[in-house]
Structure 1
Amino acid sequence: MEFSGTHQAFRDRWAKTDDEMCKHSMSFHLHNTLRKEFFASYLYLLEQIPLVKLYAVTCEYIKGEKQFYYRAQNFYKDVPASEEGMMGDFVEISEIDLEGSRQFLKKFVGPGKAGTKRALDCGCGIGRVSKGVLFPVFESMEMLDMMEEFILHAHEVYLGDYADRVEAYYLYNLQEFSPLTKRYDVIWLQWVACHLTDKDLMEFLMRAKQSLRPNGVIFIKDNMARQGCKLDPIDSSIIRHLDIMKNIIQTAGLTILDVEKQEGFPEAIVPVWMIAMH
């Protein structure tokens, strides 16, 4: 990565600080906690945000829940259950996004590849990706989201006749969800990996790998930073550089099959990449 030299100097400086820091100090505690939760990202984040502030918006607990997730839950309470809400006011690129996903999925599903029995849509929202990409391919779907309003709208309104082919809806936070083993041909995560800490994303991917049927594939489609990482403390999303995301995936023990950039989006939008793995 083009910024690796600067980042390595920062990493070396923190390593020196670690050696000299009193292990019983509050600074060490905060730093050590961040390093566990954001093992692939924390140094990039510390280049932008002071340690104390970064800890407060990520690892600090509010009402028994980690603030990183508490803030996201609060943010989505105000997001309307509509395509506009799901696309963050970029609804005009929705069809471009769906077509890119269809073409990428097509590479991995079919004879000698992943089957078409069942898929899981993680962070499904109202079912935009399920309806536009997954239902036309798979016999049945299971859908997961942390917002009850989104799931109800999907079932009662948005999915139409496709709702009859939903085997299960899961009202869960992804970091707490354990899918059944050997159940899915495809697991799709779109614009949801960015809402997990590095540690929770890694651990979910490990569980997801065990839930794949033979030749099954996991897909991540998400915003990727042009360099380093960027944290949005409002909706608790972390945009990682593609190489950082690959690090988390490989640490989880998965093999990356293919990586492709979503084309056709305006240049002003953060780059979106698709990753297939098993």
Structure 2
Amino acid sequence: MDLTNQIQDILFRAGNYIHGRDSDDDSGMTYESIIEWKEMADMIPSSGTCGNEQKRNETRQRWYKTGYDYWEDESNCPATVDGVLGGFASLSKRDLEGSADFVRDLKRTIRPGLKLNQEDNDGIPTRACECGAGIGRVTKGLLLPLGVTQCDLVEPSPRLISSAPDYLGDQSAKCRYFCKGLQDFEPMERAYDIIWIQWVIGYLTDDDLVDFLKRCALSLRRGGVVIVKDNTCEQEAFIVDRDDGSSTRSLPYILAIAELAGYRVVYLRFQEDFPSSIFPVPIIALEPRAFGDSS
């Protein structure tokens, strides 16, 4: 069974939605299932056919080019906090505070072995990775203040990642920069204590997201976690935004992908103080099942 069928089967058996739609700004198309959407988009072969691998690869490349072009265009995204948050700079402070509370609670109550600073780690420097980093907002406002010694920033937009050192200021000396899409990023094995993935998974196809999460599992140090924070939809399994080449998934959809990538959920809660007009935003701490019980 291919990945799309596995995801849809997990959702269906649990009684969760499998239908979706285009965003309100797009065509108004609706889809009865994840499979129908991907077949119509030439992401997977139609039922009963072998399909055209070259055509699917071209579709995949167009998907990523749409997202790249959107974020590389300064008129869509100035290299500022307001730009990378799509005009919602007013939410940055409460977002970072909510994330910090989540990590502290995770360490205090569930994962006391989580290494945040050198003191936690017998004097050995700790390292985090901010995925879809933009200008380094999460690195500057969350990861370094939590005590992480070093941070790697991964961002596909050359324009945004080149702005990160100035934004980070003196803290830039603690950082390394990788201008890569997550679908192409190959992290080193056993390199990170925390991998932070926020407001970016919607730009990855399901197959590439599963593969990326599998690579992340190999790059975690013992006791480390992957933390995903992203928008979710509630009345459907997915919403497609063709303008920026992204899809918003439901929480069960995200958890199905995490399961298929070999993870278990360690801790999950929602950001509670965003405006009601904002999509619900869960914060999910994931651990590779291969770690066993790391508590």
TM-score by length of 2: 0.75
Q: Deviations over 1:28-53 (max 9, x none)?
A: xxxx9xx6568636953432886665
After superposition, the Cα gap between the structure-2 partners of 1:141 and 1:97, relative to the gap in structure 1 and judged at 3 Å, is: same
Aligned with 1:68: secondary structure?
Answer: helix
Match status 1:89 vs 2:91: no
2:157 equivalent among 144, 147, 154:
147
Q: Deviations over 1:168-209 (max 9, x none)?
A: 211111011111111100000000111111111111111101
Aligned counterparts, 1:196-207, within 5 A = 196-207=204-215
Once the 2 structures are TM-superposed, how far is the Cα of residue 221 of structure 1 from its aligned partner?
Answer: 0.3
- Distance, in Å, in 2 between the alignment partners of 1:212 and 1:114 is 11
Instruction: Give the stretch that moved more between structures: 106-115 or 248-257.
Output: 106-115
Q: Deviations over 1:144-173 (max 9, x none)?
A: 000111111111x1001110111x211111
Match of 1:4 in 2: none
**Greater than 4 Å deviation, 4+ residue runs:** 35-39, 48-53
Aligned counterparts, 1:18-29, within 5 A = none
Match of 1:67 in 2: 62
Match of 2:257 in 1: 248
Match of 1:115 in 2: 115
Q: Deviations over 1:74-125 (max 9, x none)?
A: 1112221111111101111111111111111113347842112110000000
- Distance, in Å, in 2 between the alignment partners of 1:170 and 1:257 is 28
Aligned partners of 2:72 and 2:160 also within 8 Å: no
2:42 equivalent among 55, 60, 63:
55
Match status 1:44 vs 2:19: yes
After superposition, the Cα gap between the structure-2 partners of 1:69 and 1:51, relative to the gap in structure 1 and judged at 3 Å, is: closer
State the Cα RMSD in Å. Answer: 2.5
Structure 1 runs not aligned, ≥5 long: 1-31
Percent identical among aligned pairs is 33
- Distance, in Å, in 2 between the alignment partners of 1:148 and 1:38 is 35
Aligned partner letter, 2:72: K
After superposition, the Cα gap between the structure-2 partners of 1:50 and 1:207, relative to the gap in structure 1 and judged at 3 Å, is: closer
Aligned length: 241
Aligned partners of 1:182 and 1:211 also within 8 Å: yes
Aligned with 2:214: secondary structure?
Answer: helix
Aligned with 1:173: secondary structure?
Answer: coil
- Distance, in Å, in 2 between the alignment partners of 1:201 and 1:83 is 25
After superposition, the Cα gap between the structure-2 partners of 1:59 and 1:233, relative to the gap in structure 1 and judged at 3 Å, is: farther
1:224 equivalent among 229, 232, 254:
232
Aligned partners of 1:202 and 1:249 also within 8 Å: yes
- Distance, in Å, in 2 between the alignment partners of 1:100 and 1:69 is 30
More helix by share: 1
Aligned partners of 2:79 and 2:135 also within 8 Å: yes
- Distance, in Å, in 2 between the alignment partners of 1:38 and 1:242 is 17
After superposition, the Cα gap between the structure-2 partners of 1:50 and 1:224, relative to the gap in structure 1 and judged at 3 Å, is: closer
1:183 equivalent among 181, 188, 191:
191
Aligned partners of 1:41 and 1:198 also within 8 Å: no
Aligned partner letter, 1:88: G
Aligned with 1:107: secondary structure?
Answer: helix
Q: Deviations over 1:38-77 (max 9, x none)?
A: 8636953432886665338x94616xx6211111011112
After superposition, the Cα gap between the structure-2 partners of 1:188 and 1:50, relative to the gap in structure 1 and judged at 3 Å, is: closer
Structure 2 runs not aligned, ≥5 long: 10-17, 21-30, 44-54, 117-125, 288-295
